[in-house]
């Protein structure tokens, strides 16, 4: 079965469509209206080895909160649907990603149980027009709705751009490992993920 899904969600705050093909690598097509978020999602698509398309029109005249959180939610829903029954996947992934002086580790369990441990300490308040406090809002939406466990830990770093980018790339590479089909059985001793 092809692991590709499209999810659309429209509210009074955002209008989002995400298509995610887990089995094909292709350049990401990203448009959220927030330059730095686009940059991060482009990196996530590239380094996860998938084909990711994200289109969002949001209430950016207010701020970037609704766009950021809702994109995470819809991407999570899309990932959950594309994974299907999760039979044969590797399930776990881990990556330590350096970016100059910054080093961030991401550990993923595609477990069916959502949990986010967010241990990043970027110092700057803004990255372009994107508030840095929205980074965990994105990852929270993604993990909750994909029903995955993600641990993000900053080992070192000074530059906020480097820290956040390393987090997205590490997450992408950990996901790449975790979603890879390597067998024919459900990767759980209890016979159920969730």
51 occurs within a structural domain: yes
Q: What rounded mean pLDDT belongs to the chain?
A: 96
How many residues in total does the chain contain? 194
19 occurs within a structural domain: yes
189 occurs within a structural domain: no
Over residues 23-44, the mean pLDDT reads 98
Q: How far apart are CA 127 and CA 70, in angstroms?
A: 19
CATH code: domain of residue 93: 3.30.230.40
188 occurs within a structural domain: no
Confidence band for 187, pLDDT divided at 50, 70 and 90: confident
Specify the pTM.
0.96
- Domain of residue 112: give its range: 4-178
pLDDT tens digits, residue range 36-85? 999 999 999 999 999 999 999 999 999 999 999 999 999 999 999 999 99
187 occurs within a structural domain: no
- Structurally, the chain folds into a number of domains equal to 1
150 occurs within a structural domain: yes
CB-based burial, 147-164: b 16+ in 10 Å, e otherwise: bbbbbbbbeebebbbbbb
166 occurs within a structural domain: yes
Confidence (pLDDT) at 189: 67
């Amino acid at each position: 079965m092809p692991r590709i899904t499209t999810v659309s969600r429209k509210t009074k705050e955002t209008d989002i469509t995400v298509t995610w093909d887990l089995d094909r690598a292709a350049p990401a097509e990203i448009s959220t209206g927030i330059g730095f978020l686009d940059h991060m999602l482009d990196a996530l698509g590239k380094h996860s080895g998938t084909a990711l398309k994200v289109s969002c029109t949001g209430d950016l005249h207010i701020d970037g909160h609704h766009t950021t959180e809702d994109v995470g939610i819809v991407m999570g829903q899309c990932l959950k649907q594309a994974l299907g029954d999760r039979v044969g996947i590797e399930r776990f992934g881990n990556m330590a990603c350096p970016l100059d002086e910054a080093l961030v580790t991401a550990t993923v369990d595609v477990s069916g149980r959502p949990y986010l441990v967010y241990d990043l300490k970027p110092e700057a308040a803004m990255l372009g027009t994107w508030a840095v406090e929205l980074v965990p809002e994105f990852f929270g939406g993604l993990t909750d709705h994909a029903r995955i466990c993600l641990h993000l830990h900053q080992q070192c770093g000074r530059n906020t751009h480097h820290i956040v980018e390393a987090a997205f790339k590490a997450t992408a590479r950990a996901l790449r490992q975790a979603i890879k089909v390597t067998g024919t059985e459900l990767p759980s001793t209890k016979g159920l993920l969730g």
